[in-house]
């Protein structure tokens, strides 16, 4: 395709040193830097007559970009999409859970294909399984002084304010659980840009031996963790799927032996189950088998009595656990239950005890979208929907906020006519609650004291439930002599 002439939609001319190809779809010139003496970047060089003799083809590793055919072999060796050597902490499917093919039918029909009788039977099973569950969670909407200035910045738009309110409340809940202190490693799952860890670091000020491990499976732009240069804080970013992450193999954790605090903001669907299994099975269980040295003992070995007294005067001693525990706590904002998966789900035993299995789980997780799908929007809700779409675009992979009014892939075809809007929303919330209760049961079985609470107003995010968990005293390794 030949280069387009300047149009009224653009600036008229490309920026100096930039590609002269006009991208019609984006209504602007390409912004790639060009080589000296060239008019076009490598991607658009075919538009220039002098480059017509060389053919560009799609990269076989990633068809989103092209390469000169005569340079393909060289390109494949350095292409960013090439398969790279796996790090030591990559262990295939270590957090995936057991795969039982016999439980899952070969094909499950969409909800819209179910008869009214089948739907009624599913809803009866849901309501029976949910009997006795407290569907009204406690409001635990909090804030933290570390975000006071940011929250009151007049330059903030609705999107920035929404995210800051959520981060402030999560930070406030972390502090309330006495997890915001020195000598800890915060592991942020689904870290995106790393803003939650950023605010934790700001709140901790000059606390000693604070480490951050940011886990994100995709490459993320505009990361904030690289901007931190505090001598007492260490940031490490891991580009890996949680499904394959073995925390025991991370040198930082195996060397420092710091208690881990698992955190996450809108950890999407199945990622929550993978993160829980990563923390309490892969990591905590392994550490407890080794019966690690208590933190209190290590503190005394590392510090003089005078320094310990100073910490006490500063009010930091309350944040030092009496016994070292591999996982000091978990604080995760939940999201996207419709993206859960039976294989990876940690609450299978809970479902089975209720007489439920893979089929019911499949339909319940699809029906959970009814709680947040935004059926019959008012003009105000439609406005919120537009805002939320902008939030998604502006905040990238950090915000898995399907708690807005985005219609999920099943929701438009799965609305049985015998239920009105409010009934559907209640059923959606029951599905979410039941799935989360399975996670609660799992954590209890693993020696934790978990809880669910609302951490933000539904006007800020419809995905407003926070899962927290602290280890029971009996689950910590006993102090060794």
DSSP string covering 318-387, please?
GGS-SS--SEEEEEEEEE-GGG--TTT-TTHHHHHHTT--HHHHHHHHHHGGGGTS--S--HHHHHHHHH
Least confident range of 30-44, 66-80, 199-213, 300-314: 300-314
Q: What pLDDT, on the 0 to 100 scale, is given for residue 25? A: 85
In the chain, count of helices (H) and strands (E)?
14, 12
232, 206 Cβ separation under 8 angstroms: yes
CATH code for the domain defined by 111-287+325-375+418-471: 3.40.50.150
323 burial via Cβ count (<10 Å: 0-12, 13-18, 19+): middle
Calculate mean pLDDT across residues 195-208: 92
User: Which tens digit of pLDDT belongs to each residue from 43-59?
Assistant: 887 655 454 567 888 99
In the chain, where are the structural domains located? 22-77, 111-287+325-375+418-471
User: pTM for this one?
Assistant: 0.74
Q: What pLDDT, on the 0 to 100 scale, is given for residue 365? A: 94
3-class DSSP state for residue 81?
A: coil
pLDDT classification of 301: cutoffs 50, 70, 90: very low
More confident residue, 456 or 401: 456
Ordered DSSP codes for 148-188: HHHHT-TT--HHHHHHHHHHHHHHHHHHHTT--SSSEEEEE
E strand or H helix at 394? helix 379-395
241, 217 Cβ separation under 8 angstroms: yes
More confident residue, 133 or 378: 133
Q: What pLDDT, on the 0 to 100 scale, is given for residue 463? A: 93
Distance CA 264, CA 276 (A): 11
Block residue for tokens 């499950």: 108
**Neighbour tally for 28: CB within 10 Å:** 15
Q: What end-to-end distance do the CA atoms of the chain give, in Å?
A: 77
Q: What pLDDT, on the 0 to 100 scale, is given for residue 47? A: 58
Calculate mean pLDDT across residues 103-121: 83
252, 211 Cβ separation under 8 angstroms: yes
**Neighbour tally for 256: CB within 10 Å:** 14
pLDDT classification of 379: cutoffs 50, 70, 90: very low
User: Which tens digit of pLDDT belongs to each residue from 140-153?
Assistant: 999 999 999 999 99
Least confident range of 57-61, 87-91, 258-262, 409-413: 409-413
Least confident range of 127-131, 396-400, 423-427: 396-400
CA 43 to chain centre: 33
Least confident range of 32-41, 229-238, 464-473: 229-238
For residue 84 the two structure tokens come to 């790279």
3-class DSSP state for residue 56?
A: strand
Q: What pLDDT, on the 0 to 100 scale, is given for residue 289? A: 61
E strand or H helix at 236? strand 233-239
160 burial via Cβ count (<10 Å: 0-12, 13-18, 19+): middle
Distance CA 167, CA 333 (A): 10
β strands within 53-183, DSSP E: 56-58, 66-68, 138-139
CA-based torsion, 366, 367, 371, 374: positive or negative? positive
Over 50: is that where the pLDDT of 206 sits?
yes
- Cα 348 to Cα 35, 105, 127, 274, 282: the distances in Å are 58, 16, 18, 13, 18
């Amino acid at each position: 395709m030949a280069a387009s002439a300047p149009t009224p939609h653009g600036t008229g001319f490309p920026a100096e040193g930039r590609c002269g190809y006009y991208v019609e779809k984006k209504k602007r010139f390409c912004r790639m830097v060009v080589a000296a003496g060239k008019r076009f970047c490598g991607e658009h060089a075919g538009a220039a007559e002098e480059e017509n003799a060389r053919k560009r083809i799609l990269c076989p590793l990633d068809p989103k970009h092209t390469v000169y055919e005569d340079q393909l072999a060289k390109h494949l060796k350095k292409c960013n999409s090439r398969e790279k050597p796996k790090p030591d902490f990559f262990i295939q499917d270590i957090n995936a859970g057991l795969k039982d093919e016999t439980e899952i039918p070969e094909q499950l029909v969409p909800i819209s294909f179910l008869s009214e009788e089948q739907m009624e039977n599913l809803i009866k099973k849901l309501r029976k399984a949910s009997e006795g569950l407290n569907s009204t969670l406690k409001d635990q909407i909090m804030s933290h002084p570390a975000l006071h200035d940011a929250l009151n910045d007049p330059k903030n738009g609705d999107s920035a304010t929404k995210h800051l309110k959520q981060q402030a409340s999560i930070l406030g809940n972390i502090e309330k659980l006495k997890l915001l202190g020195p000598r800890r490693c915060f592991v942020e799952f689904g870290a995106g840009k790393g803003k939650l860890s950023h605010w934790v670091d700001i709140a901790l000020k000059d606390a000693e031996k604070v480490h951050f491990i940011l886990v994100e499976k995709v490459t993320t732009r505009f990361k904030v963790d690289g901007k931190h240069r505090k001598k007492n804080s260490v940031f490490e970013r891991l580009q890996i799927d949680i499904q394959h992450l073995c925390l025991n193999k991370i040198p930082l954790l195996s060397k420092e032996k710091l208690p881990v605090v698992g955190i996450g903001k809108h950890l999407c669907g199945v990622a929550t189950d993978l993160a829980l299994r990563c923390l309490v099975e892969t990591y905590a269980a392994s550490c407890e088998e080794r019966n690690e040295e208590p933190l209190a003992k290590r503190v005394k070995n590392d510090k003089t009595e005078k320094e310990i007294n100073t910490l006490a005067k500063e009010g930091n001693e309350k944040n030092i656990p009496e016994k070292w525990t591999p996982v000091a706590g978990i604080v995760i904002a939940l999201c996207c239950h419709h993206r859960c998966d039976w294989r990876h789900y940690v609450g299978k035993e809970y479902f089975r005890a209720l007489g439920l299995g893979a089929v019911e789980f499949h339909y319940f997780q699809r029906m959970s979208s009814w709680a947040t799908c935004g059926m019959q929007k008012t003009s105000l809700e439609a406005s919120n929907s537009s805002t939320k779409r902008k939030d998604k675009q502006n905040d990238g992979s950090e915000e898995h906020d399907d708690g807005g009014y985005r219609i999920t892939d099943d929701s438009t075809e799965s609305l049985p006519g015998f239920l009105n809007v409010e009934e559907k929303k209640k059923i959606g919330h029951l599905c979410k609650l039941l799935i989360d209760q399975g996670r609660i049961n799992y954590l209890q079985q693993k020696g934790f004291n978990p809880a669910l609470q609302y951490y933000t107003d539904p006007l800020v995010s419809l995905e407003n439930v926070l899962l927290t968990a602290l280890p029971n005293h009996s689950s910590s390794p006993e102090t060794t002599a």
